[in-house]
Amino acid sequence: MRESSEKNIKLRPFLLRGVPFAWQDVRIMKILRENYSGKKLTTAVAIYQSFTELASAAGRSQGKHVSQFPAYIKTIAKMSGKSETTIRRYSKEFKKLRILSWERRKKGKMNLSNLWKLLAYSCQNNDTTSSQNNDLNPFGQNNEREKEEDVRKFLNNKRRFKNFRDNDGFHSLKDILQKYKN
């Protein structure tokens, strides 16, 4: 009995060429898991999966991988099983998380589908400004002011070390620490 059931199992193809496939960045999924929990996480994943499926479908029609694709909110709502209002709300949240952007398009007075873009992962995506503030830091970890301050500290320490190195002879640990502090 076991042999017959093993014979009926078909293995997945190793190559994905020609096979429908929706790519999801694991780092983006981690951002979703860190920012949502419970039913909100389920909703966020369903909506993001709909975005990735639409991007994949747009790419198949163009014969390449794309991150930008046109789609109506109504289409995304239908694919994810959520309301249009929920799609709008989560789209705004995804924009704050820097994983999605979009452009509203019109032709004259007629509304066209939005042009959605799945954004590439950035190390700035999930850095918050403080533990009390959940708004994302617009500068990320390494803003210009911090870089200038780090360079200034480095040069200052380098000058102190050079002055210390120029002295001959042995010094007590107390003298070394006192000279370094000044």
Per-residue pLDDT of 27-43, as tens digits, reads: 999 999 999 999 999 99
Per-residue pLDDT, 141: 45
Q: What is the pTM assigned to this prediction?
A: 0.58
Q: What is the 3-state secondary structure (H, E, C) of 81-128?
A: CCCHHHHHHHHHHHHHCCCEEEECCEECCEECCEEEEECCCCCCCCCE
**CATH (residue range 19-118):** 1.10.10
Per-residue pLDDT, 131: 38
Give the whole-angstrom CA distance, residue 61 versus residue 32: 28
The CB-based long-range contact list for 164-167 (8 Å cut-off, 24+ gap) reads: none
Per-residue pLDDT, 10: 61
Per-residue pLDDT of 91-114, as tens digits, reads: 999 999 999 999 999 888 888 999
Per-residue pLDDT, 25: 85
Read off the DSSP letter of residue 136.
B
Per-residue pLDDT, 143: 47
Give the whole-angstrom CA distance, residue 104 versus residue 150: 41
Query: How many other C-beta atoms are found inside a 10 Å radius of the C-beta of residue 114?
Result: 18
71 three-class SS: strand
Read off the DSSP letter of residue 70.
E
Identify whether the C-beta of residue 158 lies closer than 8 Å to the C-beta of residue 146.
no
Ranges in the chain, pLDDT < 50: 1, 127-143
Per-residue pLDDT, 132: 38
Per-residue pLDDT, 22: 73
Per-residue pLDDT, 33: 94
Per-residue pLDDT, 35: 94
Domain extents for the chain?
19-118, 144-181
